[in-house]
Amino acid sequence: MNDTLNFASASFMLSAPRLRECPHDSGCEVAFAGRSNAGKSSAINTLTRQTKLARTSKTPGRTQLINFFSLGGADRRLVDLPGYGFAKVPKATKEEWDRNLAEYLQNRLSLKALVLLMDIRHPLQEYDWQMIRWAAQANLPLHILLTKADKLNHGPASNALLKVRSELAKSGVETLSVQTFSALKKAGLDDLQGFLNQWLN
């Protein structure tokens, strides 16, 4: 199976608060993770050419469940993980989110890769490094999207990309790649689709 996926065919499957309520653990899926204000839902909507598939909100932290979207069949899925590090919720709620997220990342067999989104103006925050280290330990391919690239001119955006690559090289992490991305201008969409086609096929 090595066909090009039709991302516009994506449809909502279900939302699960914890691993045991996720869809059957077969086939393959790629999860999108990132801080609550990194533009995760906007990226998924741009990728699937749908405006309301993933819920966007002016209030960071609205994605509190693990959301699954099928791609023309239940055996290939995109997953929108709860945003981390920003949501104004009680500490106990945040700790439960963290537990459920860790359980999914550590035990989901059909998880083939992780797309980690960071605002290009504020990359490599503490939570981002936690996700990068976890993916490296799990030997899980990880692709970084530096989102909201339209907020910077070309020169500063290129410099931000080079700086992130330099920091990652210093850390010794090898299972990842990095690109700039703008949901607003659809910049970087072809590159993202290329990675997803590779992982989900």
- Nearest one of 84, 94, 90, 96 to 33, comparing CA atoms: 84
For the record, the structure tokens of 12 come out as: 């909502």
CA atoms within a 13 Å half-sphere pointing along the CA-CB vector of 106: 9
Mean pLDDT of successive 10-residue stretches along the chain, which has 201 residues = 82 92 96 91 95 70 78 91 73 81 90 97 93 87 97 97 94 86 97 96 90
Please tell me the predicted confidence (pLDDT) of residue 1.
43
pLDDT recorded at residue 166: 93
Picking from 130, 98, 99, 106, the residue whose alpha carbon sits closest to that of residue 25 is 106
What dihedral angle (degrees, nearest 10) is formed by the CA atoms of 98, 40, 34, 179?
160
The pLDDT, as a whole number, for residue 92 is 83
* CA atoms of 46 and 50, how far apart (whole Å): 7
Please report the domains of the chain, with CATH numbers, ordered by start residue: 7-200 (3.40.50.300)
Nearest to residue 60, comparing CAs of 79, 35, 90?
35
pLDDT at 72: 82
Half-sphere exposure of 53 (CA within 13 A, CB side): 25
Whole-angstrom distance, CA of residue 184 vs CA of residue 169 = 29
